[in-house]
Chains A and B, each alone.
Chain A
Amino acid sequence: MRKNKRNFLNNAVTYGMVIVAFLLCELAISGLIGGFKMSRSLKGQLVPICVYVVMAVSLNLTVGFSGELSLGHAGFMSVGAFSGVLISQWLGSAFPDIPSLARVIAALVSGGIFAGIAGILIGIPVLRLRGDYLAIVTLAFGEIIRNLINCMYFSLDGKSLHFGFNNPNLAGKLVINGPMGATGVNRLASFEVGFVLVLFTLFVVMNLVNSRSGRAIMAARDNRIAAEAMGINVTKYKMIAFVTSAVLAGMAGALYGLNFANTAAAKFKFDTSILVLVFVVLGGIGSIRGSIIAAALLTILPEVLREFGDYRMLVYAIVLIAVMIATNSPLLGNLFNRIRPHRMKPGKEAGKA
């Protein structure tokens, strides 16, 4: 039960951190913090930060807690983005009186549902594979999703929705325009919605991890054979983690799609999957708080590095490599351990007991 208390405290700190950060941002936007004014470009980053935090936390569920390297997370994001945008635009066109918040919620829910369906369809074949083979197949699925969306055209004509595969000549106004992606979207996303989505994600992931199903997911990761011998259906729990992660990524995608007037399909290519993976690894695999911090900082970092001009991405790459070496090399690791205050090792407790 001591463990439960520790979990509770840990979760409280995570929620607290997010809420405080949100309040600080709100204060900065309204100019209530003396001497500090949030720049326009930084303000534009607020919704993407929420999106990437959700992406990172959800990917951590697959990579950290379920132990499966997924390189196609952006695929679920794109399914969520385009289905969410489509629903939101359709609602706006079919029922002009509907409040925009309802359209946002509908977009998030449908984004989650469609990405979840994609997650089930992909998970069935993918989770039969192991290790690097699983990674390459998730990458392949991510690329297939992008390729398919490249060929999809949807248009709105009043209440009716038209669909064309590789055929842009549709009646009405094009909403999803093949490689051009979503066009002419009503920008309904707001920082507040993003904040609520982040809280929802934390709620789902942290509660899942600290439950019977969560323990089964981690048992399957730590030792598949032992987990099966204990009567745990490993495939089922890997699937649960994978699909939950896909649903959350879909919701993040829907929010992302509603944040921009135009979102090209190319936005969700392999690089985006990798970017999110970088957040997860840098934040610490299996650490939810780490994912949040890494996602937020690394989303802002390119903005902060803007003064480096052309050298911006170069610096980003060097920082990335340096951090990875610094945190993982045994030489520097020892140094860190020496600086860090000594924690009570669990082994000692065992000796006493």
Chain B
Amino acid sequence: MIQFLSFLISGISLGSVYAIIALGYSMVYGIAKMLNFAHGDVIMIGAYIAFCTVQYLHLPPLVAVLAAVVVCTVLGILIEGLAYKPLRQASSLAVLITAIGMSYLLQNVALLIWGANPKSFPSVISLGTLSLFDGRLRITSETFVTILANIVIMIALTLFTNRTKMGKAMRCVSEDKGAAELMGVNVNSTISMTFAIGSALAAVAGVLLCSSYPTLMPTTGAMPGIKAFTAAVFGGIGSIPGALIGGLLLGVIEILGRAYISTELSDAIVFAVLIVVLLVKPTGLLGKPTHEKV
């Protein structure tokens, strides 16, 4: 029972990371209607930046997180401006391929700068471990901070999209780009802003992910990226609570599947659950059904 609880907690922790990444995917998808496959690699860049700040510059962890966030935000805006903006009118497939190209680009830049050997990521959050039930249930500070960060980000983002002018502009653009433009919303800057927020979140997620799973390689972001995307679809892409629920469920299913069913098949289980959910609810758990007008 206690063992189950400990798996559940690490599942929620992993799920929190997925949820934060999924948010970035979901927001960008909602507004630019594109699958930003480079998102996972922004996570990896964020983690490397934090790694360098701590390892080589010997700065405190908080500064490292801040540096990662700043670099990734700028990176996100740059990627959008250089690669995606010229393709605003292009087919979604062309944008998808460009995003894939961007993903290769980021991975190979990282490969050239930091090399292919995995780096051992120093935990930026080491505050000790909470032991319960005579040490049978141990919760690390990383787990705490991850879950906490997830909650804070979710609340902040919900407030942002519902209360602020920029947030409302984002919702307008995601609903109808043309109409938003006619109403005086600056679509281009709104899209840039979305990429900035998404990338900043990716940076946070990168640091959190590597604090719990401390191997850092140029391909570190790829699989969590795909899984977070799955989580976003799972919960209903374009929805903030959907990303949260999708991420958490995915993380818990993955950890429990790995623990109780099979280590090799944990990914297969995650994807199988996704398929079942989509077959029952074709637009995800919280997605709104779309009707084509005849």
Q: Which of A132, A139, A285 has the most CB of B within 10 A?
A: A132
Q: Verify B89–A330 contact, CB threshold 8 A.
A: yes
Complex: chain B residue closest to A142, CB-CB: B271
**With a CB–CB cut-off of 8 A, which chain A residues contact B282?**
128-130, 133
Q: Mark B242-279, 1 if CB is under 8 A from A, else 0.
A: 00000000000000000000101101100110110011
Q: Is the CB of A143 within 8 A of B104?
A: no
Hey, which chain B residues are within 8 Å of A141, CB to CB?
A: 271, 275
Contact status B93-A69, CB under 8 Å: yes
Give the contacting residue for A318; candidates B87, B105, B230, B279; CB below 8 A: B105
For residue B98, which residues in chain A have a CB less than 8 angstroms away from its CB?
Answer: 320-321, 324-325
Chain A residues with CB under 8 Å of B108's CB are 313-314, 317
Known: A132-B237, A137-B278, A141-B275. A320 touches B268 (CB 8 A): no
Residues of A191-206 whose CB lies within 8 A of B: none
Name the distance in Å between B227's Cβ and chain A's nearest Cβ: 10
Measured in the bound complex, the distance between the Cα atoms of B270 and A141 in whole Å is 11
Q: Which of A150, A274, A329 contacts B87 (CB 8 A)?
A: A329
Q: Are B278 and A133 in contact (CB under 8 A)?
A: yes
Task: Given contacts A130-B282, A143-B267, A314-B112, list 12 more A-B pairs with CB under 8 A.
Answer: A136-B230, A137-B274, A143-B268, A148-B265, A150-B264, A225-B294, A281-B93, A313-B107, A313-B111, A317-B101, A317-B102, A329-B86
Q: Which of A140, A324, A327, A329 contacts B274 (CB 8 A)?
A: A140
A144 sits at the interface (CB 8 A): yes
Contacting pair A324 B94 (CB below 8 A): yes
Decide yes or no: A140 and B35 within 8 Å by CB, A317-B104, A325-B83, A329-B87 being known contacts.
Answer: no
Q: Quick check: is A316 within 8 A (CB to CB) of the other chain?
A: yes
CB distance from B198 to the nearest CB of A (A): 17
Beyond A147-B268, A166-B262, A310-B112, is A317–B105 a contact (Cβ under 8 Å)? yes
- Chain B residue at minimal CB-CB distance from A320: B101
* Chain B: CB-nearest residue to A140: B271
Q: Provide the residues of chain B in CB contact with A136, threshold 8 Å.
A: 229-230, 233, 274, 278
Instruction: Let me know if A270 is at the binding interface, CB within 8 A.
Output: yes
**A151 proximal to B (CB < 8 A):** yes
Known: A133-B283, A136-B230, A140-B271. A328 touches B90 (CB 8 A): yes
- Residue A125 at the chain B interface, CB threshold 8 Å: yes
Q: Tell me how far the C-beta of A201 lies from the nearest C-beta in chain B, rounded to whole angstroms.
A: 22
CA distance A321 to B108 in the complex (A): 14
Residues of A within 8 A of B102 (CB): 317, 321
Mind listing 17 A-B residue pairs with CB under 8 Å? A129-B279, A132-B233, A133-B282, A136-B278, A139-B226, A140-B275, A166-B264, A225-B292, A277-B96, A281-B94, A313-B108, A316-B104, A320-B100, A320-B104, A325-B86, A329-B86, A329-B87
Q: How far is the CA of A327 from the CA of B93 in the complex (A)?
A: 13
**Pairwise interchain contact A313-B271, C-beta atoms closer than 8 A:** no
Number of interface residues of B (CB under 8 A): 44
Q: Using CB atoms, name the residue of chain B closest to A271.
A: B222
CB of A72, distance to nearest CB on chain B (Å):
10
Interface of A (DSSP majority class): helix
Rounded to whole angstroms, the CA-CA distance of A317 and B98 in the bound complex is: 9
Is the Cβ of B267 less than 8 Å from the Cβ of A132? no
Residues on the B chain within 8 Å of A320, using CB = 97-98, 100-101, 104
* 0/1 string, B199-243, CB within 8 A of A gives 1: 000000000000000000000000000100110010001000000
Residue ID in chain A nearest B29 by CB atoms: A132
Cα-based distance from A222 to B284 in the complex (angstroms): 25
CB < 8 Å neighbour of B109 from A132, A314, A328, A331: A314
Min CB–CB distance B178 → chain A (angstroms): 16
- Nearest-neighbour CB distance to chain A for B166, whole angstroms, equals 26
Give bound CA distance, A144 to B270, whole Å.
9
In the complex, B91 has a CB within 8 A of chain A:
yes
Closest to B268 in A: A147
List B contacts of A311 (CB < 8 A). 112
Shortest Cβ distance from residue B80 to the other chain A in the assembled complex, whole angstroms: 13
Give Cα distance in the complex from A240 to B81, angstroms.
40
A174 / chain B contacts, CB cutoff of 8 Å: none
Question: Is A113 among interface residues, defined by CB-CB distance under 8 A?
Answer: no
**Contact: B274 with A314, CB < 8 Å?**
no
Is A77 part of the binding interface, using a Cβ–Cβ cutoff of 8 Å? no
Find the A residue at minimum CB distance from B272.
A144
Shortest beta-carbon contacts, A-B, top 10: A140-B271, A147-B268, A317-B104, A320-B101, A328-B90, A317-B105, A329-B86, A321-B101, A314-B108, A328-B94
Chain A residue numbers with a CB within 8 Å of B93 are 63, 69, 281, 285
A59 smallest CB distance to B (angstroms) = 12
A282 interfacial by beta-carbon distance below 8 Å: yes
Among A144, A281, A314, A330, the residue within 8 A (CB) of B97 is A281
Q: How distant is the Cα of A314 from the Cα of B271 in the complex, in angstroms?
A: 31
A278 part of interface (Cβ distance < 8 Å): yes
Beta-carbon contact of B100 and A274 below 8 Å: yes
Note all chain B residues with C-beta closer than 8 A to A310.
Answer: 111-112
With A and B bound together, what is the CA distance between A136 and B25 in angstroms? 13
A140 vs B229: C-alpha distance in the bound complex, in angstroms?
11
Q: Give Cα distance in the complex from A105 to B239, angstroms.
A: 50
Cβ contacts under 8 Å, B87 to chain A = 324-325, 328-329
